[in-house]
A and B are shown apart, each in its own frame.
Chain A
């Protein structure tokens, strides 16, 4: 009796002790989002800040001591189950960290709230599993079972699932407050990107550029869980840009131009900069004569109402699948002695672009990949590919660099259709004024197959059927690189060749470090000026996600999601990785 009472008392005190160390997080407000630099211990926004820098002011871990970095703790997660056409889910999320709580997602959209405040272990405080219809969503995901993370809003977590839903979750408990069907897998729309929250709006876009969607960007009013606005990325009949679809059969209705990575945002003008994906079908440009706006472009839009302010197209009538969905950092720089407001982009087509973000005019462009064969260069005034012909509707870029219906043999395409830089985000160190571009180097070949029409255009293709007009073919082993660029000119200031193409993304810190994961499981820290490797640790399974850094109780940590068995298109050229098993883990590092 006595013993039991004692045990009971002990239990109570233990529970009380636990309850006494709650994680107190303030509501996430627009004010905080605009001032993330005042909270360097947190990682509050997907790209670190609205400008898309993925830069942390923390410098406890720096070039001097990074050699002493060691594993602080790891957390096993889930989400690697098969579904649809995929053997497993991937981890691609950027963790969000707020006052000792970390929020991450797995590929199937489960959200994990992990208490990392103790520094010794990560305790999963709650998990929200949206019950994604895996076959339904996974069969219309072109390139993997992916989810790139959550956003904070007031006392809620805003998340999405591959099968097209958005969720508002109670931040303290994980309980769902509402869900909204945003994208419709019945017409091959899926969601994979982390929402961009601006004030009370959550902005996302639809993936599905290989399945005949018509892309859009959509804002949800987070107070009501209802749609605030939707803007199609391919203008409708009568809207400016629609005339760049010249087939006469309304093929723009299935023209792709998907959206699958989070935009950057300039509060000064309430404008967000959204990278837009490839035109569909990917590899049969004769199907869609014309420039195909706004595929392979960047759009500047008003966050308040979604109105397009301007657009800039990188690869008109793109025959390569040069999807330009990746981030568009906002940087102010001196160009020829003049202060300029830039939005910059390391494009999948192999060029770096600097645009004037107030009007979309071309400022500078420069090749950043090692090899580029599809065009001899960019027009110095407009940034258009030099071999772009304004008098033709189907562009003929460099002979052999793309397929055609006539069946002319395809040759080497450099960079390969994977890029250049794919979705994996770069980082910007404002103190050094260097932009870090993790990229995929090398070449492959594109074969074209004449694309048949959709049923609503009199053809046999039904919604959800693949709509790619051909396929890529590996011809050589791809490799990777990390390059440090001057963001005003695109000039490469430092370069490092990597054994593997990069599919994870970069983190830059004020400790003058750049962190990067690799798909053989190596996680590395590089000197931000020389790009010399200063430290590495191998996790034993592929890394497919960008790292973040944060601090709790005055101590800095570096965190990254680990565990993607790479798809066939990755390990087919790296057979030594063939037997790498998948896992689903969070790794957190600390200084020894």
Chain B
């Protein structure tokens, strides 16, 4: 069982560290419904699930009080794989799971909490499938496969009522 879990973790890691070749997603003009969906996903990333605490507002990853968090801008995961990591977390790392019933059965990576033991991921904010879908859509629209964040990205995230983005103006 241990070997199986380690193999699984290694597979996830390999996928995460694979060279990012996902093309930047074109930002064609969005329909009101699409814009609403992105805003919904942003609020989950920013506040509800507080993903930015560890991954940083621009999803470029970080070290510090959130532990060591990978850059989501550089991820090579597909949206489906990405959603699975949000739902199930990453065993053996600080990435929490967001389906509160994960590991109560075999829905995540085919393993239970008992089988994972000390490698079981941490519990994050509970998200419904539609919320996970929204946060994945948001990240694939705004971060994944993109270069460094810009001043415009910053204002888009934080709004105009703060000095937060001023250092990026130059």
Residues in A lying within 8 Å of B, measured CB to CB: 82, 84-87, 133-136, 139, 142-143, 185-186, 210, 282-283, 447, 449, 462-464, 466, 468-475, 568-569, 571-572, 575, 578
Contact call A449/B68, Cβ cutoff below 8 A: yes
- Asked if B123 and A210 make an inter-chain contact with CB atoms under 8 angstroms apart, the answer reads no
Within the complex, what minimum Cβ distance (angstroms) separates A449 from chain B?
5
Given the interface pairs A85-B52, A575-B123, the reply to whether A471 lies near B64 with Cβ below 8 Å is yes
User: Is B66 interfacial (CB-CB < 8 Å)?
Assistant: yes
Assuming the contacts A473-B94, A568-B53, A575-B123, asked whether A210 and B64 have C-beta atoms less than 8 A apart, the reply is yes
Q: Determine how close the nearest CB of chain A comes to the CB of B104; give it in whole angstroms.
A: 12
B123:A466 contact, CB within 8 angstroms: no
28 contacts between A and B (CB under 8 A): A85-B50, A85-B53, A86-B50, A86-B53, A87-B50, A87-B53, A133-B164, A134-B162, A139-B164, A142-B64, A142-B65, A143-B65, A186-B163, A186-B166, A210-B64, A210-B65, A282-B64, A463-B167, A468-B63, A468-B65, A470-B68, A471-B64, A472-B67, A568-B96, A568-B122, A568-B124, A569-B65, A572-B122
* Given A85-B57, A462-B167, 9 new contacts (CB under 8 A): A87-B47, A87-B48, A134-B162, A186-B163, A210-B64, A470-B68, A471-B64, A471-B65, A568-B66
Check B62 for interface membership: any CB of A closer than 8 A: yes
Closest beta carbon of chain B to A98's beta carbon, Å: 35
Q: Which residue of A lies closest to B55 (CB)?
A: A85
Q: How far is the CB of A312 from chain B (nearest CB, A)?
A: 27
A134-B162, A136-B162, A474-B122 known; A447 and B68 CB under 8 Å?
A: yes
CA distance A265 to B145 in the complex (A): 55
Q: Give the distance to chain B from A265, nearest Cβ to Cβ, in Å.
A: 31
- Give chain A nearest CB distance to B87 CB in angstroms: 16
B159 part of interface (Cβ distance < 8 Å): yes
Distance (whole angstroms) from the CB of A274 to the closest CB of chain B: 23
Interchain CB contact under 8 A, B94 and A471: yes
Per-residue A-contact encoding for B130-170, CB less than 8 Å = 1, 0 else:
00000000000000000000000000001100111011000
- Name B42-74 residues within 8 Å CB distance of A: 46-48, 50, 52-53, 56-57, 62-69
B158/A135 in contact, CB under 8 A? yes
The answer to whether residues A473 and B67 also contact, given A87-B47, A466-B62, A568-B96 and a CB cut-off of 8 A, is yes
Residues of B within 8 A of A (CB): 46-48, 50, 52-53, 56-57, 62-69, 94, 96, 118, 122-124, 158-159, 162-164, 166-167
From B154, which residue of chain A is reached at the shortest CB distance? A135
Docked CA distance A87–B47 (Å): 5
Going nearest first, the 5 A-B pairs with the smallest beta carbon separation are A468-B64, A471-B67, A135-B162, A135-B164, A572-B122
- Tell me the nearest residue of chain B to A462, going by C-beta: B167
Taking the nearest CB of chain B, how far is it from the CB of A141, in angstroms?
10
Contact B164 A470 (CB under 8 A): no
Complex CA–CA separation, A85 to B163 (angstroms):
15
CB-defined contacts of A463 to chain B, threshold 8 Å: 167
- Cross-chain contact B94 with A133 (CB below 8 angstroms): no
Q: Which residues of B contact A470 (CB under 8 A)?
A: 63, 68
Residues of B within 8 A of A136 (CB): 162-164
Task: Decide if B63 touches A449 in the complex (CB within 8 Å).
Answer: yes
In the bound complex, CA of A143 to CA of B118 (Å)? 26
Q: Nearest-CB distance from B66 to chain A (Å)?
A: 7
Least CB distance from B76 to A in Å reads 20
- The smallest C-beta distance from B147 to any residue of chain A, in angstroms, reads 14
Bound CA–CA A569/B46 (angstroms): 18
Bound Cα distance A157, B105 (Å): 56
Closest to B168 in A: A462
| Bound complex: CA A501 to CA B65 (Å) | 17
A470 vs B94: C-alpha distance when bound (angstroms)? 13
Nearest Cβ on chain B to A40's Cβ, whole angstroms: 40
Please name all residues of chain A whose beta carbon is closer than 8 Å to the beta carbon of B163 when the two chains form the complex: 133, 136, 185-186
| Shortest Cβ distance from residue A150 to the other chain B in the assembled complex, whole angstroms | 25
Provide the residues of chain B in CB contact with A473, threshold 8 Å: 67, 94
Between A134, A468, A471, A475, the greatest number of chain B beta carbons within 10 A of the residue's beta carbon is seen for A471
A569 to B124, CA, bound (A): 11
Nearest CB of A to B94, in Å: 6
Contacts of B118 in A (CB 8 A): 475
Instruction: Report the Cα distance A283→B162, complex, angstroms.
Output: 31
Min CB distance B152 to A, Å, is 16
Residues of A within 8 A of B52 (CB): 85
Assuming A135-B164, A464-B167, is B47 touching A82 (CB within 8 A)?
yes
Question: Nearest residue in A to B49 (C-beta to C-beta)?
Answer: A87
Q: What separation, in Å, do the CA atoms of A185 and B158 have in the docked complex?
A: 16
> Within 8 Å CB of B96, what residues of A?
568, 572
A488 to B164 Cα, complex, angstroms: 48
